[in-house]
Chains A and B, each alone.
Chain A
Amino acid sequence: MKRIISITLAAVMLSFVAALFASCGSSYDGEINVYNWAEYVADGSSDTIDIISKFEEEYNIKVNYTTYETNEELYNMLKSSNSSYDVVFPSDYMVEKLKNEKLIKKLDLSKIPNQKKIIDRFKNMDFDKGNNYSVPYSWNVTGLVYNKTMVKGKPDSWESLWNKSLKGSILMFNNSRDAYAIAMQLCGINPESFTKADIDKATEKLKEQKPLLKKYVMDQTFTEMENNQSAIAPYYAGDIYTMMTNNDDLVGVLPEEGSNLFVDSMCVPESAENVEGAYKFINFMTDPENSAANMDYITYASPVEGAKELIDKDVAESELVYPPDSYLDKCYTFRDVDEDVYSYMQEQFVKLMS
């Protein structure tokens, strides 16, 4: 009996190995390595299109898709690992940093014809003047979400996160950039460029807030707010939209001071091995129809002309996902800051929490 089991097991294992080799010998014309944020392209779940398979079928190029959680993780991979990626999705300030450190390639825009369809506002942004290094993929702003059964009145300012009457049920970003940006706005400092002295001022502001907080969180904001555990939180407006569809008591607002307009872009790292494949992929993702499919899935806004008309009507009409131009004029976009200043901010943030 034992022998039969072991023979069967060996056969099963061998067939796995065989299957592995078989898949290597497939008929793709090439492959690209895409390194992206987790859950950032439509994957076929809940009525969306599986964008990656669609690309593979259309171009006969295999996509090896891996994900990261933070811009800093992406930076470290590009800077110090030997892995080669063909397309990456850094945010605004990280595009600038990667560009300055020559970790991403100058793009040949003639190979990405769809780049012309990028809306003017998202062309020529400060982090990449001339759009020579990046093609915008998605954009959105930060906002406030509150539970109308727990908060009296209508909070419309970041100052509501310092509201003493909500003590113990306020959440705050557990990420130094976003947390400091809010504190800096309230201190009258421009979050696009700041010094160590500015950081100290903002730290004082955050220290005032700490005793009122329930927690510093990121992804947990979803469960905290959707399950009525906390009263008010700052988060990314597109995600606030998602929370609101899951709990009718939640309300999203754009703070009157303006907020952080963030743009995630597609870039080609210096280590890329299949640059032509990368251009095809970027061009494919910048097609209005495909962009719309992705944005339907992630509920952030598309920078592609004509995509807004193709996405779910409720999403397109939401001021959270597509804030009006007049609001965007009040927003700022992160820039690369000196490494010394950045790590000082990170250090002060960790000290604040300890």
Chain B
Amino acid sequence: MRLKRPTIPYIIWMAVFTVIPIVLILLYSFTDRTGSFSFEPLVKAVGYTNVFLNSIWIAFISTVICLVLSYPLAYFMSRLKRSTQNLITMLIMIPMWMNFLLRIYAWVTLLQNNGPIDTMLSLLGIHTQLIGNQGAVIVGMVYEYLPFMVLPLYTVMSKIDYQLIEASEDLGANMFVTMRKVVIPLSVPGIISGVTMVFVPSASTFLVAQYLGGTNDIMIGDVIDKIFWSDRNTGSAIALILMVAILFFLIILNFFGDEEAIAT
């Protein structure tokens, strides 16, 4: 295909802000402080395997919870009156207009000892530590990324022709069979882009664990943040491994759906 002139700015943009940075990360990952070729940064990065696994685990759980919560919501939304649909979309979007850190601070206040939730639970006789553990980190992540799951699911589901569902019901399928045989297969592209949009950023996120987690809940994003200032080679190597892991994950997802869904 011949390049059209209007595409040139985009190509320059991608070269400067995507390709060159990736090449730099590669370069740093395979050199030492003096700039000569070395595997040392990668070896050091592998030393953080437990953090990698922990981050991927937290991202996985958050994604599953987001999917379970969003799927029915998106389905029911797509069956409502047009104006109600718009209202609900608005309500899902509004929290995203607020600064990310403010929302995390809000969760700190909600979950802290003698905070609103803790006080209510104490009245019911339940005394637990709500903040400073993995559960709190997952709550923060789910809250943060839920809209990224709901919106693609809703977009796909609102395109499903209602006559297909009616036809399925006419042929005697009950609600579960209709779901399994009609709605879910048709919404796979939405599931895939939702899962991608939640899993990828939550695996690499930082600060959430610092605010809501305890001493053991450091995530790979926090490690990169800490290491990069003193040792950019190891920092780059960790970022590279994370990129490869995410790429691997996207390839696996690829087996479940058509390629176009992954591109979103």
Residues on A facing B (Cβ under 8 Å): 70, 72-73, 76, 168, 174, 210, 213-216, 220, 223, 227-229, 339, 342-343, 346-347, 349-351, 353-354
24 contacts between A and B (CB under 8 A): A72-B229, A73-B229, A174-B210, A210-B215, A214-B215, A215-B214, A215-B215, A220-B211, A227-B114, A228-B114, A339-B33, A343-B230, A346-B230, A347-B44, A347-B227, A347-B230, A347-B234, A350-B223, A350-B226, A351-B48, A353-B215, A354-B50, A354-B54, A354-B218
Does B132 touch A at the CB level, under 8 Å? yes
Q: Add 7 more A-B contacts to A76-B229, A215-B132, A339-B33 (CB < 8 A).
A: A214-B214, A216-B215, A223-B108, A346-B230, A347-B230, A350-B48, A354-B218
Does B47 touch A at the CB level, under 8 Å? yes
| Complex Cα–Cα for A353 and B222 (A) | 10
B208-231 interface bits toward A, Cβ cutoff 8 Å, 1 = contact, 0 = none: 001100111010000100110111
- In B38-75, the 8 Å CB interface with A consists of 44, 47-48, 50-51, 54
Q: Which of A168, A339, A354 contacts B48 (CB 8 A)?
A: A354
A214-B132, A346-B230, A347-B231 known; A354-B112 Cβ under 8 A: no
| Complex Cα–Cα for A28 and B136 (A) | 52
A76-B229, A210-B215, A346-B231 known; A227-B50 Cβ under 8 A: no
Which residues of chain B have C-beta atoms less than 8 A from A72's C-beta? Answer: 229-230
A178 shortest CB reach to chain B, Å: 14
Chain A residue at minimal CB-CB distance from B114: A228
Interface of A is mostly: helix
Q: Which 3 pairs across A and B sit closest by C-beta, in order of nearness?
A: A72-B229, A346-B230, A343-B230
A264 shortest CB reach to chain B, Å: 18
| Complex Cα–Cα for A173 and B108 (A) | 19
| Complex Cα–Cα for A108 and B210 (A) | 44
Does B85 touch A at the CB level, under 8 Å? no
Does B113 touch A at the CB level, under 8 Å? yes
A214-B132, A227-B112, A339-B33 known; A350-B227 Cβ under 8 A: yes
B211→A354 contact, CB < 8 A: no
Which residues of chain A have C-beta atoms less than 8 A from B33's C-beta? Answer: 339
Which residues of chain A have C-beta atoms less than 8 A from B227's C-beta? Answer: 346-347, 350
Chain A residue at minimal CB-CB distance from B225: A350
Which residues of chain B have C-beta atoms less than 8 A from A347's C-beta? Answer: 44, 227, 230-231, 234
B230→A229 contact, CB < 8 A: no
B113 shortest CB reach to chain A, Å: 6
Which residues of chain A have C-beta atoms less than 8 A from B211's C-beta? Answer: 220
A213-B215, A229-B112, A347-B234 known; A354-B44 Cβ under 8 A: no
B180-200 interface bits toward A, Cβ cutoff 8 Å, 1 = contact, 0 = none: 000000000000000000000
Which residues of chain B have C-beta atoms less than 8 A from A216's C-beta? Answer: 215
Which residues of chain B have C-beta atoms less than 8 A from A349's C-beta? Answer: 226
Q: Taking each of B114, B132, B215, which has the highest tally of chain A beta carbons within 10 Å of its own beta carbon?
A: B215
A353→B218 contact, CB < 8 A: yes
B133 shortest CB reach to chain A, Å: 11
